[in-house]
């Protein structure tokens, strides 16, 4: 793993959350590349999760273009060997929490077990690094909004339920149960014009359930999330922050 350093210099606030801490410019090492980026914590509740926009020099753009050209003939080997040169403009840097070694290991294991779902139902895992002497994951920024936010709670319950069930079932079919079932961890994302649910925070993933229990879990957790969602809509309505509903994008 590589050494990383954070530099001071706070700038604008994170556009994804109006109440989050201000942004900062940070630098870190990933493989053969030193990356400079601007970003901020996802929100005040998750200071260990930074949403970053990478800065690229002209030289870095040129090198990255060469890697992309070569990879067209090479296939996936070059991407696997030098993932630092295939990063998108926006990424997420998620550091291990204090005394959460076991949970961090569990999340890494979950990403490996769910490899085929990376970028589809869960974020893409690009690699592991050392950030300020702490282990960290480099993940894709899936965009969208958590269902716990007004921007993420714009669908009818009837439209949301099959999206949740499909996302949870995709995990259970690979032997993984998401065991931190709260609205914050389920994001409404529009991908190629279609709505879907992306699942984040896999520290509490469970790999020990039987096939029968996994099938039951997908349905029961969907029902639990829908109940949370219904209460959340009522609370937002009472607080006057609920946004207008919109049709499901299919």
Per-residue pLDDT, 10: 29
- Spatial CB neighbours of 248, under 8 Å, sequence gap ≥ 6: 155, 156, 159, 195
Per-residue pLDDT, 72: 85
Fold of 145-239: Transferase(Phosphotransferase); domain 1 (1.10.510)
Q: Are 187 and 200 in contact (CB under 8 A)?
A: yes
Per-residue pLDDT, 169: 97
Per-residue pLDDT, 1: 43
For the entire predicted model, the pTM comes to 0.87
- pLDDT by residue for the chain (250 residues), tens digit each? 444 444 333 233 334 444 555 788 999 999 999 999 999 998 888 899 999 999 999 999 999 999 998 888 877 888 889 999 999 999 999 999 999 999 999 999 999 999 999 999 999 999 999 998 999 999 999 999 999 999 999 999 999 999 999 999 999 999 999 999 999 999 999 999 999 999 999 999 999 999 999 989 999 999 999 999 999 999 999 999 999 999 999 9
Q: Is the C-alpha dihedral spanning 162, 165, 171, 173 positive or negative? A: negative
Per-residue pLDDT, 31: 94
What does the domain layout of the chain look like in residue ranges? 4-140, 145-239
């Amino acid at each position: 793993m590589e050494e990383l350093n954070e530099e001071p210099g706070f700038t604008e606030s994170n556009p994804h959350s109006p109440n989050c801490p201000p942004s900062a410019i940070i630098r870190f090492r990933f493989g053969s590349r030193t990356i400079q980026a601007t970003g901020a914590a996802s929100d005040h509740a998750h200071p260990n999760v930074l949403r970053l926009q990478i800065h690229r020099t002209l030289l870095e753009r040129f090198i990255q273009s060469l890697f992309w050209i070569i990879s067209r003939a090479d296939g996936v080997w070059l991407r696997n060997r030098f993932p630092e040169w295939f990063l998108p403009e926006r990424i997420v840097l998620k550091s291990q929490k204090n005394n959460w070694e076991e949970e961090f290991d569990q999340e890494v294991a979950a990403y490996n077990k769910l490899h085929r779902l990376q970028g589809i139902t869960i974020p893409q895992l690009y690699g592991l690094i050392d950030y300020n002497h702490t282990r960290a994951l480099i993940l894709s920024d899936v965009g969208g909004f958590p269902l716990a936010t007004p921007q993420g709670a714009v669908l009818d319950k009837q439209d949301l339920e099959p999206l949740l069930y499909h996302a949870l079932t995709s995990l259970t079919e690979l032997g993984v149960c998401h065991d931190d079932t709260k609205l914050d961890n389920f994001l409404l994302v529009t991908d190629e014009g279609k709505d879907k649910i992306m699942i984040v925070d896999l520290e509490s993933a469970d790999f020990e359930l039987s096939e029968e229990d996994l099938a039951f879990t997908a349905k029961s957790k969907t029902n639990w999330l829908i109940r949370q969602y219904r209460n959340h809509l009522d609370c937002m309505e009472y607080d006057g922050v609920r946004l207008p509903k919109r049709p499901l994008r299919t």
